[in-house]
Structure 1
Amino acid sequence: MTPFWKNAITSLILIPIFLGIASIFSGKEVSTEQYNVLNHKEYPILIAGYDRNAGNVLVIQPEWKLEDFSSEERYLKSIEAPLKQAEQKGLLKKNTLVVFPPHMGSFLYFMNARQEVFKQKTLEEAWSFLKLENSFKDTIGWIIGKKSDPYQKVSSSYQRIFSNLSRTYGVFILPGSVFLPDGIFENGNFIPNQNGDWKEFAFLFQPDGKISKETLSRKPSEIWKKNLSQLNPGGNVSGNVAETSLITIQFPFARFGIFYLEDFKDPAFQEKVKKTFVSRIIAIGEESSEAQLKDWAVKSNFESTIRVIPSGVLLDRNYGGGSYVKTRYGAPTPGVNSREPLILNLFL
């Protein structure tokens, strides 16, 4: 083949690559003006029980918008707003546990994405667009000899934010969950392994900012397997991973059993929860349709039952809310299924 045709073929290969690179770097992120016009509702605070100085659990049900995950600054602002409200009401103390719903970190993969990603009609299309953007970034990384690891930025931001919040307010924080490759704990931090199996982790941040080693973890669902495969085609998302679907934690003020709500549908898992020798349980979940927990917990003599579900709309995906706190003999608070942002405080 003559040098002319070699150069011509090379040009045909490089042209779409450079066009893609130009498109990525010429694209703009969601601007401050665009973000500020979004409607952010105030959090009503509902209180159950009486303050006996024996500790309290603060449940945060945020109203999600995908744009809240568009930058670390906006993400921090959206999750700190209810904490500031609770602090002003005197609800954050040294014996307080703050609980957020699942996937508070999973959508941070949209951090610093282009405006076009947030304009897609469906969440699936947004993930696909994000995949295209990441593919060009991977190509650039391959050319310059630096592989792109999409989870590194998410892991760093997620841990830094909640570590700082737990230290700042001096409370325990269970910040929902985040998808990361499996890894190791070192000095109170979690270090993902690039070649590790993807898991949904629910970490507990202590008042000193360090992560407790008692960590919920489970394999990705089929939908999340697809999303994660788009983010990192080289990662292992087979789902054949070890799970820790139930943990028990002895806080200075109470002992809790914590688990994923979706696992509760299994009768065998219900028996497992019943035999954990805890007086209080926390279930974090995505779907508000699960209705077994309330009645089951009453019959099982648990002192407190807490269910945490997100609300809001991420493009075409609706999260119905339905968080509640419940004492052994009291009615659930709130009394109806609410889609609104909520702060629920349960005095122990």
Structure 2
Amino acid sequence: MRKILGLSTVLLLVIILVSYGLWTGKRHAGHYLTDLRIQLVINDGQPGDRGNLLGIQPELFASDYQSLKRLHRKLAAYLQQAREHGLINDKTIVVLPEHVGTWLFAVDEKSQFYQATTIEEALNWLAVSNPLQFAIAMLHAKGENRIDDARIRMKSVNMARDYQTLFGGLAKEFGVTLVAGSIVLPGPSVENGQLHVGNGALYNCSVVFGRDGLPIGQPQRQLFATWYQRGYIRSGKDAPLNVIDTPAGRLGTLIGSDSWYPRNYTRLNQSGVELIAVPAFVAGNDAWSQPWHAQKLPVELGVEPAPLTEGEAWRRLTLAPISTAQAGISVFMRGQFWDQGSTGHSFANRGGQSITEQSVSTPPKGSKPGHGARLINLWL
């Protein structure tokens, strides 16, 4: 009797494990595509032969990342509309927002992952759906928050591949230089024209793709990680500030809060930078108008926290007057990933003068005021 009971238990466990394995391998790609419309809200200067800085502020959702094909279709639709406005030429530099590549961990997941109500629930589904990858990632995880590290690390090889396929492909398809926002990867580097990951700490980094679809130089690492991510993303304080030559001029990239620090502009000035791209991200649907969390920031910024909102702080510190660059643009993410929203109003700067969105035409039917995708263009 005991032998029969033992065999039955083993058989049941085998059936459960096989069923679980089959379940984790199944992926269903839906067909729903979110709104492809985008509004031109800043178009400063006159067209000429010197090119332009073109910010794409997308409005993205978790479902947009269900497949690389779907995400390409949405971003390509934005670029196509920019082309129809006459905003794309062979000297155009396109700038995308911070973390537009980080969300690539959401590609090709189970339906339960996209149907989750909170980001924590979604990330739990991510681990359950990829048990072996998650376990291996936990062994290599760094920092205080090893679980958050592992959730990104577990798919980092695929994320790096998809990042280059998608954004390098868009740069080549539209014949532009493309600052591909940012992506969080372990030990990122470019070797022989390919973006690779290592086994080290996670870094928030940005890659610029040329008109041939290949990376230009090495990934730019974020020098000062945002305070709420420091438990699993390492600051690249000793990393160089890359300045690359583009058809429109010498370009530097400052990721997110790196754009607040005067020392970074001094370094870029010394490198002869002419143009600055700032991929940015602010978490929370209403955070732009809320008090700035300056208590988490260094005293060296020299700004009193009390009177400033998040938006006022960004506009005061980013693309600082001490910069000798000809022009710059700061581009934010818009969208909703489960219960985590993102906000921000993209802006540009020319010769030390800030250029902000003055007015927006009536929002598309069914959309909320202040939401929706935006085009921000600055002729050089």
Q: TM-score, normalised by structure 2?
A: 0.74
- Deviation, 1:73, is 1.0
- Deviation, 1:279, is 3.4
Task: Sort the Cα spacing of 1:183 and 1:342 in 2 relative to 1 into closer, same or farther, 3 A.
Answer: closer
Structure 1 residue 299 and structure 2 residue 321: aligned?
Answer: yes
Structure 1 residue 320 and structure 2 residue 316: aligned?
Answer: no
Gaps of 5+ in 2: 136-152, 283-287, 289-309, 361-369
Match of 2:156 in 1: 151
Match of 1:344 in 2: 376
Task: Sort the Cα spacing of 1:243 and 1:78 in 2 relative to 1 into closer, same or farther, 3 A.
Answer: farther
**Residues paired across the two proteins, number:** 325
**How far apart, CA to CA, are the structure 1 residues paired with 2:235 and 2:315?**
32
Task: Sort the Cα spacing of 1:112 and 1:342 in 2 relative to 1 into closer, same or farther, 3 A.
Answer: same
Deviations 1:29-83 (A, max 9, x none): 2421xx14x4444333531111221111110000011111000110101111111
Deviations 1:118-177 (A, max 9, x none): 1111112111111110116779xxxxxxxx962233222221122222222221111111
**How far apart, CA to CA, are the structure 2 residues paired with 1:186 and 1:294?**
36
Match of 1:197 among 190, 198, 201: 201
- Deviation, 1:108, is 1.4
Gaps of 5+ in 1: 140-147, 227-236
- Maintained 8 Å contact 1:123/1:317: yes
- Maintained 8 Å contact 2:334/2:344: yes
Paired residues for 1:159-174 under 5 Å: 159-174=164-179
Match of 1:259 among 254, 263, 267: 254
**How far apart, CA to CA, are the structure 2 residues paired with 1:211 and 1:99?**
14
Could you tell me the percent identity over the aligned residues? 22
Task: Sort the Cα spacing of 1:242 and 1:97 in 2 relative to 1 into closer, same or farther, 3 A.
Answer: same
Q: TM-score, normalised by structure 1?
A: 0.80
Paired residues for 1:1-348 under 5 Å: 7=7, 10-11=10-11, 13-25=13-25, 29-32=28-31, 35-36=32-33, 38-44=34-40, 46-135=42-131, 150-193=155-198, 195-218=199-222, 239=234, 244=239, 246-266=241-261, 268-269=263-264, 271-273=266-268, 275-287=270-282, 288=288, 289=310, 291-292=312-313, 294-295=315-316, 297=319, 299-300=321-322, 301-328=324-351, 330-335=353-358, 338-348=370-380
**How far apart, CA to CA, are the structure 2 residues paired with 1:133 and 1:223?**
26
**How far apart, CA to CA, are the structure 1 residues paired with 2:45 and 2:204?**
32
After superposition, the CA RMSD in angstroms is 3.2
Deviations 1:185-228 (A, max 9, x none): 333111223x34332221010111110114211487676688xx
Task: Sort the Cα spacing of 1:329 and 1:282 in 2 relative to 1 into closer, same or farther, 3 A.
Answer: same
- Deviation, 1:116, is 1.1
